[in-house]
Structure 1
Amino acid sequence: MKKIISISLISLLSLIIFASCNKKVKEENISNLNWEKIVEKAKGSELTLMMWSGDPFINAYMNNYVIPEVKNKFGIILNISEGQGSKIVQILMAEKEAGKNKSELDMMWINGETFYQLRQIDALFGPFLEKLPNSELIDFNNPFIKYDFQQPIDGMECPWGNVQLAIIYDSLKVTDPPETMEELESFVKNNSGVFTIPTEFTGMTLLKSMLIAIAGGQEELNGDFDETKYNKYSAKLWEYINRIKPYFWKEGKTFPPTLAQTHQMFASGELYFTFSNNDSEVDNKVLLGLFPNTSRSYVLKTGTIQNSHYMGIVKNSSNKAAAMVVCNFLISPEAQLKKMNPEVWGDGTILDINKLSDDYQNKFKNIPQRKYSLKRDSIQSKALMELAPEYMIRLYSDFRKYVIEK
């Protein structure tokens, strides 16, 4: 009897190990399935997307359009969880250290330094991009889409939108907005308390644009992170910021931690300026009634960063098929057209319009025009490529060290 039980236990254990290995193989081999099989596998899935949720227009686009559409079209229940950047990295790092083989996240909205950090800890599934039928429509001839903070995306993330940093101001209060760092210094010193820099992604993107200006142009900082160059030019940047900091909001003794707070202070008139990584955002904020209709946007003469944002899929997601289907929908002409409308979101498309059907080409050409933002073609010549991700990571820590805590 003991021998029979032992054999049974061994057989049972073998079956469990086999089932576990077989499941792992199936998970790993999902990229070998054709698209029809992937769509079929995705049906009935429930997955979690972690993304920044600080903008009401973006939230409405996701909640009122994307979530219902992927449920109706593909039977996928998409849940959205608030979080970005460091939070995503911390969650996936903690799961990795705990040895978890199933993540609480399935996909996430990322770019730049987060993409870099997630690849460092091997937390991304892929390459998967070429499996998406709509990936053939992406404008990969555009270097602002093809590269993410100068990193080839290698099919490990899916382009979702393309934007350029803009400075937003109230034209009723600022008749001649400063277009250079010298003009900004003069303005801030003559108009104390109405300017500041948020300490989050958008604020750091502004500082990165200034760093490029101080370095004399894009070419000086292109390529891999250069410690010597960073130290040289960032020292000049901190000297500049600290020189005008006493004239900032609250005398530069504190800085807004979020862009939403900066927007709110601009809307109330406490600040004369705010910022956006979306060059058309001022339009939807006026339409929303948050910003006064005297709000306008511009870019610095020396240029501002243009970049793309992406969707990534978690390596330990148990819903990879559903995540791929959602990604494919997000880059469909239908979803991109709706997203690009400034009355909906105003996010720039990553599609090559010339690859679309005549019907969709006409629809894209007839998107409502911006009323308060500069048109993209008028600022494209001032678009700066993103720097290597380490520059952004260092700006976050050094801004706190050399400016906030100084």
Structure 2
Amino acid sequence: MLFRPRRASRLAWVTLALGLALGCRPAPRTPAAELARLPWDSVLARAKGTTVVWRMWRGDPSINAFVDQWVAPRVKERHGITLTAVEGQGPEIVNQLVVEREAGARGSADLVWINGETFGNLRREGLLDGPWAGSLPNARYVDSASPIIMRDFEQDLAGYESPWGQVQFALIYDSVRTPDPPRTVAALASWIQAHPGRFTHDQQFTGTTFLMTVFYALGGGVQNYQGGFDSLRYESGSARVFDWLERHKAAFWRKGETYPPGVAELHRLFANREVDFSMSYNQSEALTKARQGILPATARPLLLQDGTIANTHFVGIPFNAGETAGAMVVANFLLSPEAQLEKQKPEVWAD
């Protein structure tokens, strides 16, 4: 005889199966804006025992050591948070979040290191959670009167990212090899022509920032580009930069036919005396890399008199972060006087 389950038994099995399926789903996340309205003790309580995944640029051993060996142990000891840093920057972060949004997936990161174009793209796509940054207890230490801090490449932060460092672009020269370096973009152009093969820039972010410095200098200063994006001013300014490159690239390293892919490779060319300048988006890097033996002991930073680009870097919380409270606690710790002082030490990061 065949056994036929009674209708009630079938219903029980269906109910059990649905219960198991629903039980496998992640618990609904609490938006950052909602957490920002809670007492901070409540945020700390929710953060305890969480694992926060921080997607960030991992290209500098000094920065990696600061995060992995100094920040992570302290947020673990004080707040019970396991902090895990993973590689990811710029378009990678945007693309990953777009894919996760389309899939309806829980976020693979809880905190992201961002600024500038990446911040703008994430905001336009609705991929950041917030506002939350102004609710952090350590936000009281932020200089709210500084346009460099409170605007990210002319964009209002609106509480969607929290600052954690500030840097300024600088050329790097050897005070023995080049005791009297050029101090303006015009003087640099003359120096390049007089010393063929001894100058170049990298093809990544630092090199792009150098070209932005040239852009503003040739355009009469940054004040001529304030007040929002103007396509005509941008096109004319870009044309001047391309003309500048065309006139001088034959005197670049390898006649401007190839460029070092990144700033690490440019540092090596400088250290090996193949070129006489390197560059950095951190004015203190000449000294920190000299202390580490990567650059010559006589390496020095050079801030051009035309002005160079200063930049604040931030952390944001993705719209689908699973551990929002933990991310907020980490962001708050990064703003603490203790953490800021530590990373400003030349032997640590000098940021």
Fold conserved between structures, TM > 0.5: yes
Q: 1:66 aligns with which of 66, 71, 81?
A: 71
- What SS class does the counterpart of residue 169 from structure 1 fall into? strand
Residue 3 of structure 1, CA deviation: 6.7
Q: Secondary structure at the match of 1:304?
A: coil
One-letter amino acid matched to 2:57 = W
| SS of alignment partner, residue 47 of structure 1 | strand
Partner of 1:94: 99
Question: After superposition, what is the alpha-carbon deviation per residue over 1:206-256, rounded to whole angstroms, capped at 9, x for unaligned?
Answer: 111211111112221112221111111110110101111111112111112
2-side partners of 1:42 and 1:141: how far apart? 31
1:330 partnered with 2:341: no
In structure 2, stretches of 5+ residues that fail to align are: 1-5
- Deviation by residue 1:115-161 (Cα, 9 ceiling, x = unmatched): 00111211111111122111111111111111110111111000111
Residue 131 of structure 1 aligns with which residue? Answer: 135
Q: Alpha-carbon deviation of 1:321?
A: 0.8
Give the match for residue 79 of structure 1: 84
Residues 1:27 and 1:309: Cα distance change in structure 2 (over 3 Å): closer
Flag the structure with larger Rg.
2
**Correspondence for 1:158:** 162
Give the letter aligned to residue 239 of structure 1.
D
CA distance in 2, matches of 1:107, 1:22: 19
Residues 193 and 287 from structure 1, CA distance in 2 versus in 1: closer, same or farther, beyond 3 angstroms? same
Pairwise CA distance, 1:27: 7.7
Amino acid at match of 2:63: I
SS across alignment from 1:231: helix
Cross-structure match for 1:259: 263
Equivalent of 1:54 in 50, 59, 69:
59
> RMSD in angstroms over aligned alpha carbons?
2.3
Match of 1:187 in 2: 191
Task: Report what 1:209 is aligned to.
Answer: 213
Query: Structure 1 pair 176/22, CA: closer, same or farther in 2 (3 Å)?
Result: closer
1:43 alignment partner AA: K
In the alignment, does 2:7 pair up with 1:2?
yes
Equivalent-residue separation in structure 1 for 2:119 and 2:295 (angstroms): 32
Pair 1:44 & 2:49 matched:
yes
Aligned counterpart, 1:288? 292
TM-score with structure 1 setting the length? 0.80
Matching residue of 1:108: 112
Q: 1:83 deviation in Å?
A: 2.1
Secondary structure (helix, strand or coil) at the match of 1:179 reads coil
Q: In structure 2, what is the equivalent of residue 117 of structure 1?
A: 121
In 2, the alpha carbon distance for the partners of 1:75 and 1:234 equals 50
Residue type of the partner of 1:303?
G
Deviations 1:24-43 (A, max 9, x none): 46787433432111111111
For residues 215 and 26 of structure 1, what CA distance do their matches in structure 2 show?
43
Distance in 2 between residues matched to 1:149 and 1:171, nearest whole Å:
33
CA–CA distance in structure 2, aligned partners of residues 27 and 237 of structure 1: 42
Partner of 1:364: none
Q: Distance in 1 between matches of 2:176 and 2:29?
A: 61
Deviation at 1:6, TM superposition (A): 5.0
* Structure 2 CA distance for aligned equivalents of residues 55 and 269 of structure 1: 22
- Provide the rounded CA distance (Å) in 1 between the counterparts of 2:307 and 2:189: 17
CA–CA distance in 1 between the matches of 2:108 and 2:30? 20
Shift in Å at residue 341 of structure 1? 1.6
CA distance, structure 2, for counterparts of residue 113 and residue 66 of structure 1: 27
Query: 1:35 is matched with which residue?
Result: 40
Alignment of 1:272 onto 2:280: no
- What SS does structure 2 have at the residue aligned with 1:269? coil
Q: CA deviation at 1:10?
A: 7.0
User: By how many angstroms is 1:325 displaced?
Assistant: 0.6
Query: How many Å apart are 1:52 and its aligned residue?
Result: 1.4
Structure 1 distance, partners of 2:342, 2:27, is 41
Q: Which runs of 5+ in 1 are unaligned?
A: 348-406
**Aligned partner of 2:325: which letter?**
A
Q: Percent identity?
A: 41
1:357 matched residue in structure 2: none
CA shift for structure 1 position 56? 2.2
Distance in 2, matches of 1:326 and 1:230, equals: 38
C-alpha contact (below 8 Å) 2:31/2:324 kept by paired residues: no
C-alpha separation between the residues in 1 aligned to 2:34 and 2:320?
A: 13
Paired residue type of 1:124: L
Give the secondary structure class of the aligned counterpart of 2:86: strand
Shift of 1:5: 4.5
Matched to 2:77, the amino acid is N
CA distance 1:344–1:18, change in 2 (3 Å): closer
